């Protein structure tokens, strides 16, 4: 018996993307993580409505408090979408159904960025509801001044966070190691740059947390963009590039 | 477009990790309409060979084709080759049914196919709704076999599929694989237990220490009677036997054991102009003895492997 096999190698991208979106939401751990990621924004808005001074209840301030925790937890989604394939060994299935690993990574990146966009939207919505309620219930300031630049800055900061998670995941291929490194290394970096006096000058260029602080304040200058781009190159692009090479080359094993 | 005579062709696959050689110069074919048993003790290189066949590991040398193509060049590989490399490699928080639905998404198969496969592998709807973390190894094997069958492939590549199955499960699996091969498909299954594949396989490939030590039709390899022959030019002798359509096994001390009468061996050697140094009836020999010798060397690893599973 002979068989003819024709067609483009691998699987159409749209299907792989749908499968990766499914895998982010079809386990208990995944659902919990998403629940926390989405619930934290209305939760901090509610908290702020109770404890904050009425004068500080502005849209800008609400956006700030919803996006800050997301910058910390959203990257976990990026980490886990990659590392579970190794930690839970599901890569044996994933990479035999689609042997083109680059395309699998692209689908994972797209899936997590789409969820990141949804998180950003829920964040702005929560902030808007908070601002309306703040003015109505607490006699808050209620200012809507924010400007298009602010939306851009928040989107950039959070989506770069997702990319950072993906990068650390690919670089380390282990959930525990990637999460620890993601939380510890930037803090060590900030500590280093604040403690060593000679490095303070360069911190704005080399320390990602310091560089991205400007984006939260909006009205970002050209120099500040350059500083942010440089820091992101070091902390996101470089580990991501090494990580992609590692995924492409590594052997997918069962143990 | 490719027309392939054999379902799987493995050409001189070699894998080295640093200085250690895991797989050395392994070649074999898997025919259409037959079950090929890939036999060897644990650590012999079976899993590494299979990982190289499906593109999960990069060979140091050699290559393999599935349906005439490098596995990574297959369009929608899951619709051509069903692969099960480790039934335990499942996310414990995902339900059995969801594992198949993810694959069905990738392969663009309807929900109905997931139900069909669950019925086929004997997982009840209630079992399929449970998370795989609570599955027994036998249930995981059934799920893994179902995952391999989902895309209605023509080729199955299964690493130790009988592991963890109870006797009824093994009986079921045998019937399933026999039917698959009788319908014209090709099955490659590995095992570290001779009797497991003995009853099922049409062809056998025996691997030990990373190299093929015997391969051929099961009926030939299991024949105890045979002829031992030796030549100063053993490669030429091996080629002569192959040309004459005779299978053989390599003896540890050199020389070849052929499951055929001495006269046939002598004619094969003569036809190729190979000088025989020795030609006599084989003592015992056969597959069983080769396999026992191989497994004896690995008996210790075997028992630790057994306790881990």
Residue B308 inside a domain? The answer is no
Pick from B72, B99, B106: CB nearest A9 = B72
Pair (B49, B173) in one structural domain:
yes
Pair (B201, B236) in one structural domain:
no
Structure tokens given for B241 = 């036997």
Question: Which pLDDT does position B4 carry in this prediction?
Answer: 64
Residue B303 inside a domain? The answer is no
> Predicted confidence band at B161 (pLDDT cuts at 50, 70, 90)?
very high
Residue extents of the structural domains in chain A: 13-248
Residues of the domain holding B246: 225-284
Q: Which of residues 37-66 of B touch A (CB under 8 A)?
A: 47, 51, 54-58
Q: Is the pLDDT of residue B224 over 80?
A: no
Name the percent of chain B lying above pLDDT 70. Answer: 91
Residue B190 inside a domain? The answer is yes
DSSP 3-state assignment of B11?
strand
Q: Which of residues 90-149 of B touch A (CB under 8 A)?
A: 90-95, 98-99, 101-103, 105-108, 131, 147
Pair (B193, B229) in one structural domain:
no
Nearest to residue B49, comparing CAs of B10, B8, B4? Answer: B10
Residue that terminates a domain, selected from B208, B238, B270? B208
Beta carbons of B7 and B189 less than 8 angstroms apart: no
> Predicted confidence band at A216 (pLDDT cuts at 50, 70, 90)?
confident
> Predicted confidence band at B286 (pLDDT cuts at 50, 70, 90)?
low
| Contact between A2 and B4 using a beta-carbon 8 Å cutoff | yes
Q: What are phi and psi of B158, to 5 degrees?
A: -125, 125
Q: Which residue has the higher pLDDT, B257 or A105?
A: A105
Q: What is the mean pLDDT of residues B176-182?
A: 97
Pick from A2, A3, A97: CB nearest B78 = A97
Taking contacts as CB-CB distances below 8 angstroms, the residues of chain A near B86 are 89, 92, 254-255
Q: Is the pLDDT of residue B303 over 60?
A: no
d(Cα B64, Cα B236) in Å, to the nearest integer? 25
Q: Is the pLDDT of residue A4 over 60?
A: no
Pair (B86, B232) in one structural domain:
no
Question: Which pLDDT does position B223 carry in this prediction?
Answer: 63
- Residues, chain A, total? 255
| DSSP 8-class letter at B161 | T
For B118-159, write each residue's pLDDT tens digit.
999 999 999 999 999 999 999 999 999 999 999 999 999 999
Residue B229 inside a domain? The answer is yes
Residue B100 inside a domain? The answer is yes
DSSP 3-state assignment of B87?
coil
Taking contacts as CB-CB distances below 8 angstroms, the residues of chain A near B71 are 99
Q: What is the mean pLDDT of residues B224-244?
A: 87
Q: How far is CA A154 from the centre of its chain?
A: 11
Q: Which one of B9, B45, B72, B89 makes the best mutation probe of the A interface by having the most chain A beta carbons within 10 Å?
A: B89
Taking contacts as CB-CB distances below 8 angstroms, the residues of chain B near A9 are 72-75
> Predicted confidence band at A2 (pLDDT cuts at 50, 70, 90)?
very low
Q: What is the pTM of this model?
A: 0.85
Question: Which pLDDT does position B214 carry in this prediction?
Answer: 86
Pair (B104, B253) in one structural domain:
no
Question: Which pLDDT does position B298 carry in this prediction?
Answer: 53
Q: What are phi and psi of B217, to 5 degrees?
A: -65, 140
| Contact between A5 and B2 using a beta-carbon 8 Å cutoff | yes
Q: Is the pLDDT of residue A128 over 80?
A: yes
Question: Which pLDDT does position B69 carry in this prediction?
Answer: 95
Least confident piece of the model among A49-58, B49-58, B252-261 = B252-261
> Predicted confidence band at A253 (pLDDT cuts at 50, 70, 90)?
confident
Pick from B67, B68, B73: CB nearest A9 = B73
Q: Please report, for residues A236, B56, B85, B216, the alpha-carbon distance to residue B190 in angstroms, rounded to integers and kept in the order given.
A: 43, 17, 10, 15
Q: Which residue has the higher pLDDT, A214 or B69?
A: B69
Sequence-distant (6+) residues with CB within 8 A of A99 are: A9, A10, B54, B55, B71, B72, B74, B77
Q: Which one of B8, B59, B91 makes the best mutation probe of the A interface by having the most chain A beta carbons within 10 Å?
A: B91
Query: How many domains would you assign to chain B?
Result: 2
Q: What is the mean pLDDT of residues B227-251?
A: 89
Pair (B194, B266) in one structural domain:
no
Pair (B274, B148) in one structural domain:
no
Nearest to residue B44, comparing CAs of B286, B304, B298, B309? Answer: B298
> How many degrees, rounded to 5, is the angle at CA A57 between CA A55 and CA A59?
135
> Predicted confidence band at B297 (pLDDT cuts at 50, 70, 90)?
low
Q: CATH code at B22?
A: 3.40.50.300
Pick from A1, A28, A89: CB nearest B89 = A89
Least confident piece of the model among A161-165, B126-130, B263-267 = B263-267
Burial class (CB in 10 A: 0-12, 13-18, 19+), A133: middle
The answer to whether B209 contacts chain A (CB < 8 Å) is no
> Predicted confidence band at B283 (pLDDT cuts at 50, 70, 90)?
low
For B48-102, write each residue's pLDDT tens digit.
999 999 999 999 999 999 999 999 999 999 999 999 999 999 999 999 999 999 9
Mean pLDDT of chain A: 93
User: Interface pTM (ipTM) of the complex?
Assistant: 0.92
């Amino acid at each position: 018996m002979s068989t003819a096999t024709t067609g483009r190698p691998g699987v159409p991208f749209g299907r792989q993307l749908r499968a990766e979106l499914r895998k982010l939401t079809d386990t208990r751990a995944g659902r919990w993580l998403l629940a926390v990621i989405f619930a934290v924004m209305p939760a901090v808005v509610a908290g702020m409505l109770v404890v904050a001074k009425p004068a500080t209840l502005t849209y800008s301030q609400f956006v700030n408090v919803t996006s800050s925790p997301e910058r910390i937890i959203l990257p976990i989604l990026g980490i886990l979408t990659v590392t579970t394939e190794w930690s839970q060994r599901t890569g044996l299935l994933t990479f035999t159904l689609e042997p083109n690993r680059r395309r699998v990574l692209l689908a994972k990146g797209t899936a997590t960025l789409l969820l990141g966009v949804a998180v950003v939207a829920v964040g702005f919505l929560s902030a808007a509801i908070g601002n309306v309620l703040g003015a109505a219930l607490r006699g808050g300031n209620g200012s809507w001044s924010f400007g298009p630049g602010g939306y851009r800055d928040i989107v950039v900061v959070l989506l770069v966070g997702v990319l950072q998670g993906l990068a650390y995941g690919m670089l380390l291929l282990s959930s525990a190691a990637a999460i620890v490194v993601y939380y510890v290394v930037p803090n060590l970096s900030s500590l280093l740059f604040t403690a060593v006096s000679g490095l303070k000058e360069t911190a704005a260029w080399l320390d990602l947390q310091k560089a991205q602080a400007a984006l939260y304040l909006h009205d970002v200058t050209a120099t500040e963009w350059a500083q942010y781009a440089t820091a992101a190159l070091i902390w996101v692009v470089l580990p991501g590039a090494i990580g992609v090479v590692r995924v492409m080359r590594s052997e997918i094993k069962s143990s | 477009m490719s027309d392939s005579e054999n379902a799987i062709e493995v050409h001189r696959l070699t894998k080295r990790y640093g200085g250690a050689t895991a797989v050395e110069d392994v070649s074999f074919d898997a025919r259409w309409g037959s079950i090929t048993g890939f036999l060897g003790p644990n650590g012999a290189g079976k899993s590494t060979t299979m990982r190289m066949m499906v593109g999960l590991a990069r060979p140091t040398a050699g290559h393999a084709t599935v349906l005439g193509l490098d596995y990574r060049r297959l369009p929608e590989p899951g619709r051509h080759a069903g692969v099960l490399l480790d039934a335990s490699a499942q996310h414990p928080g995902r339900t059995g049914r969801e594992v198949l639905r993810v694959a069905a998404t990738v392969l663009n198969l309807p929900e109905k196919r997931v139900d069909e496969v669950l019925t086929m592998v004997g997982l009840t709807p209630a079992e399929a709704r449970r998370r795989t973390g609570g599955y027994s190894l036998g249930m995981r094997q059934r799920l893994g076999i179902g995952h391999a069958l989902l895309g209605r492939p023509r080729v199955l590549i299964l690493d130790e599929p009988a592991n963890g199955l109870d006797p009824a499960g093994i009986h079921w699996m045998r019937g399933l694989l026999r039917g698959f091969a009788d319908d014209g498909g090709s099955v490659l299954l590995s095992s570290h237990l001779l009797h497991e594949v003995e009853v099922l396989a049409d062809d056998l490939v025996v691997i030990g220490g990373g190299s093929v030590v015997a391969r051929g039709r099961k009926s030939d390899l299991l024949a105890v009677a045979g002829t031992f022959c030796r030549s100063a030019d053993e490669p030429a002798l091996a080629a002569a036997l192959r040309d004459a359509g005779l299978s053989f096994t390599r003896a540890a001390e050199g020389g070849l054991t052929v499951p055929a009468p001495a006269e046939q061996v002598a004619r094969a050697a003569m036809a190729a102009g190979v000088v025989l140094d020795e030609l006599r009836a084989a003592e015992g020999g056969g597959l069983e003895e080769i396999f026992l010798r191989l497994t004896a060397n690995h008996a210790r690893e075997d028992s630790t492997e057994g306790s881990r599973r």
